[in-house]
Copies of this chain bind each other. A is one copy, B any other.
Amino acid sequence: MNVMPASYDMLFAALSDPTRRGIFEKLCHDGEQTVHALTAGAGVSQPAVSKHLAILKQAGLVLDRREGRETHYSARPDALAPLMDWTGRMTRFWQKRFDKLEDLLKRMDQ
């Protein structure tokens, strides 16, 4: 399957679960890993990890690569770009309104 663009909903939701975020962090930090390796550090069962990985994949946050009987997963941190964009946009909106207010106060002061 192709790399998915993923919606804000899916991105935020995928990262809102601590177990899932832990898996993604591990992948970012230590690079590609098998489901087995990820299960070791996850604190939940292997099927649970598989389900989490499926969700991360749907959100575009990880890639999978089949190799024999094992599946290797890797992080795709550029999938976080929309999240940074959105965050920046919100902050800018707010900043803009703040600037306007400052202007107004300055004009009133004169």
**Which chain A residues have a beta carbon within 8 Å of chain B's beta carbons?**
8-9, 12-13, 15-18, 21, 24-25, 28-31, 75, 77-78, 80, 83-84, 87-88, 90-91, 93-94, 97
Contacts and interface: CB of A to CB of B under 8 A. Distances in A.
Given A12-B15, A28-B93, 20 more contacts: A8-B21, A9-B16, A9-B18, A12-B13, A12-B16, A12-B21, A16-B16, A24-B90, A25-B90, A25-B93, A28-B94, A29-B97, A31-B97, A75-B90, A78-B91, A80-B87, A80-B90, A83-B87, A84-B84, A84-B87
Count this chain's copies in the assembly.
Answer: 2
A31 B19 CA distance: 35
A75 B87 contact: no
